[in-house]
Structure 1
């Protein structure tokens, strides 16, 4: 019971202002640029979503950050790319969680341990309040993995927006 009350409290007090402080406009612009830069070297489609907190009903129903990331992956149709190579980088500020959800082709090509390393690049530094640099470093690793497995030689079209979403 204490665990759920603690989580409920964290989600109650974590606001969009908290998320904007962690990810100000300049950071969001650099994230967008880093995603676009990577997509010039690989065929995958990467998207980042930052959510300050879940609504209290979701918290009471036990929705995890991973479940929420899957929901957003579906909602934003990240699975609807030509080669099934969408990748979602999801950050939940209140839960202090980073999740990576991949489409089928990416999931088959790149083991989950590789994605965990990308997530740890962020979470390790998030604890120190270093959101900007750690997010860009994680995106660099993400782009490198995708370039190794899905290099782009033909200059494919951009199927999903590179702009990070703040929810």
Structure 2
């Protein structure tokens, strides 16, 4: 109910914009991009982080929006089908992970990563929470990404602000 009132009044959108400006500046994003780059040197997975301050009005469901972003950012476009999207909708306080078909991981494992990140963000531990989530995803990809050239870096490492 509380979140619905925030959404109806527009406070959630303002809060999402404020969170993005306050916690995701260029320095933080560069640090996260470097961590993603380091992570990808140990497996064939390709991680893309997308941070959306305010979800568009045409899509109310964060999971469906994450699927849309996954497609628009072409996370699926990797030689080994090893793209992974970590999607944050700040206004909805939603976190989603979408993995390509080359990454065979039980959904419960992705949900654990999301739950840990959500707990960190609730404590305003944004930078370390994101870095920890990248580390968690790295461990999963080391175990489940297809074998291949770990030197290939197909997708951009810089977080995408939507």
Structure 1 residue 16, shift from structure 2 partner:
3.4
Structure 1 residue 5, shift from structure 2 partner:
4.1
**For residues 3 and 15 of structure 1, what CA distance do their matches in structure 2 show?**
12
Correspondences of 1:1-167 after superposition (within 5 Å)? 4-8=4-8, 9-55=10-56, 57-58=57-58, 63-106=60-103, 109-150=104-145, 154-167=149-162
CA gap 1:111/1:20 in 2 versus in 1, 3 angstroms: same
**For residues 64 and 84 of structure 1, what CA distance do their matches in structure 2 show?**
25
Structure 1 residue 64, shift from structure 2 partner:
1.1
Structure 1 residue 65, shift from structure 2 partner:
1.1
Q: Is the 8 Å Cα contact of residues 10 and 95 (structure 1) preserved in structure 2?
A: no
Secondary structure at the aligned position of 1:155 is classed as: coil
Q: TM-score, normalised by structure 1?
A: 0.87
Long gaps (5+) in structure 2:
none
User: Superposition RMSD on alpha carbons, in Å?
Assistant: 2.0
CA gap 1:135/1:15 in 2 versus in 1, 3 angstroms: closer
**For residues 146 and 39 of structure 2, what CA distance do their matches in structure 1 show?**
10
CA gap 1:153/1:68 in 2 versus in 1, 3 angstroms: closer
Q: TM-score, normalised by structure 2?
A: 0.89
The one-character-per-residue Cα deviations of 1:106-147 (angstroms, maximum 9, x if unpaired) are 1xx211111111111210011111111111011101001101
Structure 1 residue 41, shift from structure 2 partner:
0.4
**For residues 122 and 106 of structure 2, what CA distance do their matches in structure 1 show?**
25
**For residues 64 and 161 of structure 1, what CA distance do their matches in structure 2 show?**
26
Q: Is the 8 Å Cα contact of residues 47 and 83 (structure 2) preserved in structure 1?
A: yes
